DNA sequence: ATGATAATTGATAATAATTTTCATTTAACC
DNA sequence: GGTTAAATGAAAATTATTATCAATTATCAT
């Protein structure tokens, strides 16, 4: 379980200062299960830190992503969105096109395929993104009406 | 093999007019193997149609994507980029982080996984994106130096 | 071929997302 | 508590994308 506290410790360990603004961001990130756009994160963090700047959100997101603590989602077209990595290992997502709910796909069987492709194509493959789209149970019901 | 001519015919069949601007766009799209951002496409099309507007590029891209003739790539962070669909079936990409070269991955074994996930999660899954990143042969050599 | 018509175009503006700059503040360390 | 380098935020700059609307034009039916 990733807590605000743990994330703060990780940041400090990497030489980053732990400021009230960052703490507020970490809090929201650990509490929220949906993926958040920078703007949405900003909005929520403002409740705890009304004077925080949007730039700080962007900068903190960048750090968290570099440390592999959050992952970028590729579902939304106009802006990126981010999500706390709950499973620390490599994994993927199913995103609901209706409500935005995100479910982790913990087993990833793509390493074999990746190796095979590397052989076939000569590429040195060092990563991939995989995301599924669809409708969650709830949104399926809503659609049916 | 997708030619400018064929694409034009498809557009007409769908009720779209084939204008000189669109023809120029189709020409570049069929000739180019790399993925292109709207801005890059604009730049190239301008050589044939100097007075074309960037808006026309965006609008034409939208049509081509809706018809499934080009596919959106998710590799680049700041802007989308697009690529002519050479294989008409569902497929994926390996993108070189060095030079942008894109190789198609024609076999997609994710349908089974997708079904299994649908059962496990209750989601009605209707699609996925999968893209690999790495370095092509040439860029591996350059890196080594 | 010609003309009617609805689609397309592009100049422009509006909107939205992201990054840069820089003076001020502050967390971490001693 | 004082020092210092990192972090902050106001503001502007940059970039990507979409909307508006008057002028143009491809297509189709004469
Ligand atoms: Mn996840
Ligand atoms: Mn492809
Ligand atoms: Zn849903
Ligand atoms: Zn390359």
In order, the DSSP letters of B27-87 are HHHHH--S-B-HHHHHHHHHHH-TT--HHHHHHHHHHHHHTTSEEEE---SSS-EEEE-SS
- Who contacts B76 (Cβ-Cβ below 8 Å, separation ≥6)? B37
Task: Report how far ligand 1's centroid is from the alpha carbon of B104 (Å).
Answer: 26
Per-residue pLDDT band at B128 (split at 50, 70, 90): confident
- Torsional class of B132: left (φ above 0), alpha (ψ -120 to 50), beta (otherwise): beta
CA gyration radius, chain B: 17
- Indicate the pairing of strand B70-73 with strand A124-135: unpaired
pLDDT at A76: 62
pLDDT at B14: 95
Task: Report how far ligand 4's centroid is from the alpha carbon of B142 (Å).
Answer: 9
Q: Which residues of B touch A130 (CB under 8 A)?
A: 110, 128-130
pLDDT per residue over A25-39, tens digit each? Answer: 999 999 988 788 999
Average pLDDT over residues B99-108: 82
Per-residue pLDDT band at A88 (split at 50, 70, 90): low
| Structural domains in chain A plus CATH codes | 1-86 (1.10.10.10), 89-145 (3.30.1490.190)
Average pLDDT over residues B80-89: 76
* pTM greater than 0.85 (yes/no): no
pLDDT at B129: 85
Residue A5 has pLDDT above 90, yes or no: yes
Q: Which residues pair with A92 in a beta bridge?
A: A105
Nearest to A132 among B77, B125, B135 (CB): B125
Sign of dihedral through CA atoms B64, B68, B70, B72?
positive
Per-residue pLDDT band at B87 (split at 50, 70, 90): low
Token pair 């994507």 is found at B65
d(C-alpha B96, C-alpha A53), whole Å? 36
Residue A14 has pLDDT above 90, yes or no: yes
d(C-alpha B65, C-alpha B69), whole Å? 6
Residues A127 and B133: beta-carbon distance below 8 Å: yes
Cβ of A112 less than 7 A from strand D: no
- The alpha-carbon gap from B5 to the nearest alpha carbon of chain A, in Å, equals 30
């Amino acid at each position: 379980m990733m807590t605000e506290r743990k994330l703060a410790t990780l940041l400090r360990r990497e030489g980053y200062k732990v400021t009230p603004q960052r703490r507020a961001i970490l809090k929201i990130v650990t509490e929220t299960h949906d993926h958040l756009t920078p703007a949405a994160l900003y909005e929520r963090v403002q409740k705890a830190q009304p004077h925080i700047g949007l730039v700080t959100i962007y900068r903190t997101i960048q750090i968290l992503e570099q440390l592999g603590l959050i992952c970028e989602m590729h579902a939304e077209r106009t802006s990126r969105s981010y999500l706390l990595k709950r499973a620390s290992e490599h994994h993927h997502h199913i995103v609901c096109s209706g409500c935005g709910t995100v479910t982790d796909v913990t087993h990833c069987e793509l390493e074999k395929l990746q190796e095979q492709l590397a052989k076939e194509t000569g590429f040195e493959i060092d990563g991939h993104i995989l995301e599924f789209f669809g409708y969650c149970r709830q949104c399926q019901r809503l659609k049916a009406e």
